[in-house]
Structure 1
Amino acid sequence: MNVQTGFAQDVRVDFTGPYRHAINGALVDSAGSFEVFNPATDEVVAHAPNASRDQVEQAIAAAKAAQPGWAALSQDERGAYIAAYADALDAHKQELITLLTTEQGKPRHSMATTEVEYAIFWVREVAKRRLEDEVIEDTPEHTVKVAHTPLGVVGAITPWNFPVLLGLWKIAPCLVTGNTMVMKPSPYTPLCTLRFGEIAQQVFPAGVLNVVAGGNEQGAWLTEHPDIAKISFTGSTATGRKVMASSSCNLKRITLELGGNDPAILLPGTDYKPLIPTLFDAAYGNSGQWCIAVKRLYVHESLYDDFLRDFVAHAAEKTVGNGMDPNTDLGPIQNKMQYGKLKDLFADVKAQGLSVPLGGEIPDGPGNFVPITIVDNPPKDSRVVREEPFGPILPIIKWSDLDEVVRDANDTEFGLAASVWGPDRDTAIGVANRLEAGTVWVNEIHIHGIDIPFGGHKQSGMGVENGQEGLKEFTNTKTYMFRK
């Protein structure tokens, strides 16, 4: 690999199209393409290239050829490239924000801006992180040292709900630890990823970061390929099971960040009124389309009636609309598949005769718009409680017995995150300790950090992202022993 000595200082990209794969430092067309829709209007906004089998093979081969030279660079040298990539992305921040709203639907002035800015910040910060060798034993006679060596080529498959953040969340730690990557974005939201793949070709050495677009077929080519050493996947639990099975062909390392049905528990005596905006955003942010959204809200019976009244009043003030409208609070559902699943769930809520103090009827018309919906104290075995809706619908559930509500909160195949809210910190922490989840927040929610590990329990995933543990997920542990 020809290691560059400088970086592109003026990275220019035309965001209007056409869109191409990024393979081995070049932009590549495909014979076939697929339509990309604006979920607020149902209009086709672009055509994305549909990678052939040969193009996926070329991307993997390029990453494999580039990896030894990339790994031979020092961590500081790789970090400098990644920092330059953050600068190049930042130069196109406004275009990325607009494109994100166009293909994903989230409001440009809020969620889309936050996602892009946070993702670029994340890349810049991860560029500074290092994995140092660990000395386990060092005596006059003997030394034991543990090093963390690159895996090789990583295949990354990203979802449609946070395509920019979760894409860059994978790229930066993968590259800083000496691996190369082939990334495939969701076919519902490929455009931003193709653009930051294009930007990468002007910053990194050829083959270090490759981006190919397509659907399930292209994803399977990555997971099955013997030259892919690791798959980093974010998506549904059902698809995660398929990824895990497919990756077993050569015992790939895998990181799976999957679904969730996250509970939030309000303890008696909680001063809930200041928390309502936070809890609303935690449940309905991105129109409920995130794995760590509050999806079951358990409120103690002493607070329940007043809380429900005030929460409904707050939610009723919010606006669902086109994400390009600055008055929009929540955008549309991103794709017709998920929109159809929500229509089916809403029909079940209606058929079961559940109490719905807000929303409940999905209107006809262009765009995948679903109203903010609250379900009042549904039975614990109802679908709206048992399933992950991935949309703007929230069951609020009354509880009286602490042991029972903890059992109910844990009674799920998922274990991604949870939160506990209460006036006494020690009591709330005691409840948090009993919850089966990879992350539990107490009197706060959705706090993340570059150095904070994130991963799920049970069927919410395998492995962790972020922190030193997340960096190590992209490495092999290698133990050296020296007799002096």
Structure 2
Amino acid sequence: MNAIPKTATHDILDHPFKLSIGGQLLDADATFEVYNPASNAVIAHAPEGSAAQLDAAVAAAARAFKDWSRLPWETRADYVTRYADALEARKDDLITLLTLEQGKPRHTMATGEVEAAIYWVREVAKRTLPVETIEDTAEHVVEVAHVPLGVVGAITPWNFPVLLGLWKVAPCLLTGNTMVLKPSPYTPLTSLFFGEIAQSVLPPGVLNIVSGGNDLGQQMTEHADIAKISFTGSTATGKRVMASGSGTLKRITLELGGNDAAVVLDDADWKSIVPTLFWAAFGNSGQWCIAVKRLYVHSSIHAQFVEAFVEYARQQVVGDGMDPATNLGPIQNTMQYGKLLDLFADVKKNGYKVPLGGTIDESIPGNFVPVTIVDNPPESSRIVQEEPFGPILPIIAFDDVEEVIERVNASPFGLAGSVWSGDRARGIEVAKRMETGTVWVNEIHIHGIDIPFGGHKLSGMGVENGHEGLCEFTNTKTYMFSK
């Protein structure tokens, strides 16, 4: 778990990180510290954009919108494709930066995130939103088009800063909008870097990156010249985004928290899915909005399942993400680490059965939390009711399908879920009754360019990806012509 000394692969940290505003790379009057969560050592200083610089970025995006929105769709698609090529050329630096500031293992999740993000940008560029003719008679024509909104403000989180940032950038630009993106202050470096890369490819002002604190986010959501906010983060912050954007009736897309349940029925081939469900819960050290956070297993197989799950979990190594032996990295920031300390204390205070983990060693440098499994805590417990956003998982027994569906749906969240059964039709019937935006049956965490993703209830509003995701960056416009 010790931090690895700086080597030649860390040379990217000597790079001057700057704001991207109107095609220029700019410093700010102030900076803030960026930490490596594996050691809590300062690894860089990021520019703290001012209110005036955010205003300048919005103004630059508004100016660029006039010409960018008028370009043919094919021309914008070509720009976005060339941006993917430019990202590919700096892929290794992006991967290293991601591990150093976020913590996830470089050789697995960091590489996977960056490669998936570049693929997403390239594939999104191949999509279209054609004008639809819904009426064409001898006297009349009615067409429906999807037209760009204007300047879009994107606010991105610290758990997947590259992927979730570029998920927003590509469809936004393709549909004719321009963007001002504010990354999480915990992980600004990768966004500043991919913003710099964009300046070598895109026209000035089309993509602007301004790093800073939460006050800039508030300024964005209230800004009169920003037409839409696309936000990924906590439900509590999402509510504030929606409230502050209401003054200007901004379009809002919110991808928020979840307390996702996986249901393993009594006829499931449970031995074969233990590794799949482990990584569905503990990938990215549990810092994943769609991580399995409640694992319901039928009581007839519960004890055997827990034993096998614990055995598999024991084999995983928690450590510095730059170490090739590491399977799971640290918690990204001390704020989230503190929340987990409190949750672990609650588990201990209540005497829940913990067959693995359960104690955080605060003497170790870095935000390391052990893989922890809580065996059959009560439904009312915090570990079942709350979203931990860390490597701790309750495995809960249930007796019948009606009971477990009721327990799953009692949550105020509704992001995603999964059902596991030896009878596909039976699994689908259970899935249809789960109140979530996405449900997988006998698979999990499958995403796609053309697959819409969004939450129900307190897990958000609107969708990303797919045809619906492209439409989220547009207004519907109806044309009617007399012949």
TM-score by length of structure 1 reads 0.97
Query: What is the letter of the counterpart of residue 354 of structure 2?
Result: V
The aligned residue for residue 75 of structure 1 is: 73
How do residues 100-115 of structure 1 correspond to structure 2 at under 5 angstroms? 100-115=98-113
Runs of 4 or more, structure 1, over 3 Å off, are: none
Partners of 1:267 and 1:422 within 8 A in 2: yes
SS at match of 1:363: coil
C-alpha distance after superposition, 1:49-80 (max 9, x if no partner): 00111100000000000001001101110000
The aligned residue for residue 410 of structure 1 is: 409
Residue in structure 2 matching 1:58, options 56, 59, 69: 56
In the TM superposition, what is the alpha-carbon distance from 1:323 to its structure 2 partner? Answer: 0.3
The answer on 1:431 being equivalent to 2:430 is yes
Query: What is the letter of the counterpart of residue 42 of structure 2?
Result: V
C-alpha distance after superposition, 1:253-289 (max 9, x if no partner): 0000000000000011211111111000000000000
Query: What is the letter of the counterpart of residue 320 of structure 2?
Result: N
- Per the alignment, do residues 122 and 382 of structure 1 end up closer, same or farther by CA in structure 2, a change over 3 Å counting? same
Q: For 1:199 and 1:317, locate their aligned partners in 2 and report how far apart those are by CA, in whole Å.
A: 39
Query: What is the letter of the counterpart of residue 168 of structure 1?
Result: L
Q: For 1:23 and 1:115, locate their aligned partners in 2 and report how far apart those are by CA, in whole Å.
A: 26
How do residues 349-428 of structure 1 correspond to structure 2 at under 5 angstroms? 349-364=347-362, 365-428=364-427
Partners of 2:12 and 2:93 within 8 A in 1: no
| Aligned length in residues | 472
The aligned residue for residue 3 of structure 1 is: none
Partners of 1:81 and 1:204 within 8 A in 2: yes
Q: For 1:268 and 1:85, locate their aligned partners in 2 and report how far apart those are by CA, in whole Å.
A: 48
The aligned residue for residue 7 of structure 2 is: none
Q: For 2:70 and 2:13, locate their aligned partners in 1 and report how far apart those are by CA, in whole Å.
A: 34
Residue in structure 2 matching 1:325, options 294, 314, 323: 323
The answer on 1:446 being equivalent to 2:450 is no
Unmatched 5+ residue regions in structure 2? Answer: 1-10
The aligned residue for residue 306 of structure 1 is: 304
C-alpha distance after superposition, 1:198-238 (max 9, x if no partner): 01111100000000000100111111000000000000000
Partners of 2:116 and 2:163 within 8 A in 1: yes
The aligned residue for residue 43 of structure 2 is: 45
The aligned residue for residue 337 of structure 2 is: 339
In the TM superposition, what is the alpha-carbon distance from 1:16 to its structure 2 partner? Answer: 2.4
CA RMSD of aligned residues (A): 0.8
The aligned residue for residue 455 of structure 1 is: 454
C-alpha distance after superposition, 1:316-356 (max 9, x if no partner): 11110000010101000000000000000000000011000
SS at match of 1:249: helix
How do residues 286-301 of structure 1 correspond to structure 2 at under 5 angstroms? 286-301=284-299
The answer on 1:225 being equivalent to 2:197 is no
Q: For 2:138 and 2:293, locate their aligned partners in 1 and report how far apart those are by CA, in whole Å.
A: 57
The answer on 1:145 being equivalent to 2:138 is no
Partners of 1:296 and 1:396 within 8 A in 2: yes
Q: For 1:430 and 1:140, locate their aligned partners in 2 and report how far apart those are by CA, in whole Å.
A: 47
SS at match of 1:182: strand
Query: What is the letter of the counterpart of residue 382 of structure 1?
Result: S
SS at match of 1:450: coil
Partners of 2:13 and 2:43 within 8 A in 1: no
In the TM superposition, what is the alpha-carbon distance from 1:14 to its structure 2 partner? Answer: 6.1
Query: What is the letter of the counterpart of residue 168 of structure 2?
Result: K
Q: For 1:439 and 1:402, locate their aligned partners in 2 and report how far apart those are by CA, in whole Å.
A: 19
SS at match of 2:440: strand
**Aligned-pair identity (%):** 67
In the TM superposition, what is the alpha-carbon distance from 1:15 to its structure 2 partner? Answer: 5.5
Query: What is the letter of the counterpart of residue 291 of structure 1?
Result: C
In the TM superposition, what is the alpha-carbon distance from 1:140 to its structure 2 partner? Answer: 1.1
Partners of 2:269 and 2:422 within 8 A in 1: yes
Q: For 1:404 and 1:398, locate their aligned partners in 2 and report how far apart those are by CA, in whole Å.
A: 11
SS at match of 2:88: helix
Query: What is the letter of the counterpart of residue 123 of structure 1?
Result: V
C-alpha distance after superposition, 1:341-383 (max 9, x if no partner): 0000000000011000000000022100000000000000000
- Per the alignment, do residues 188 and 396 of structure 1 end up closer, same or farther by CA in structure 2, a change over 3 Å counting? same
Query: What is the letter of the counterpart of residue 88 of structure 1?
Result: A
C-alpha distance after superposition, 1:293-312 (max 9, x if no partner): 00000000111111010000
Query: What is the letter of the counterpart of residue 51 of structure 2?
Result: R
Residue in structure 1 matching 2:208, options 207, 210, 225: 210
Unmatched 5+ residue regions in structure 1? Answer: 1-12
SS at match of 2:173: helix
In the TM superposition, what is the alpha-carbon distance from 1:17 to its structure 2 partner? Answer: 2.1
SS at match of 2:300: helix
- Per the alignment, do residues 387 and 344 of structure 1 end up closer, same or farther by CA in structure 2, a change over 3 Å counting? same
The aligned residue for residue 6 of structure 1 is: none
Partners of 2:13 and 2:44 within 8 A in 1: no
How do residues 261-272 of structure 1 correspond to structure 2 at under 5 angstroms? 261-272=259-270
In the TM superposition, what is the alpha-carbon distance from 1:160 to its structure 2 partner? Answer: 0.1
The aligned residue for residue 25 of structure 1 is: 23
In the TM superposition, what is the alpha-carbon distance from 1:406 to its structure 2 partner? Answer: 0.2
Q: For 1:205 and 1:123, locate their aligned partners in 2 and report how far apart those are by CA, in whole Å.
A: 17
Query: What is the letter of the counterpart of residue 195 of structure 1?
Result: F
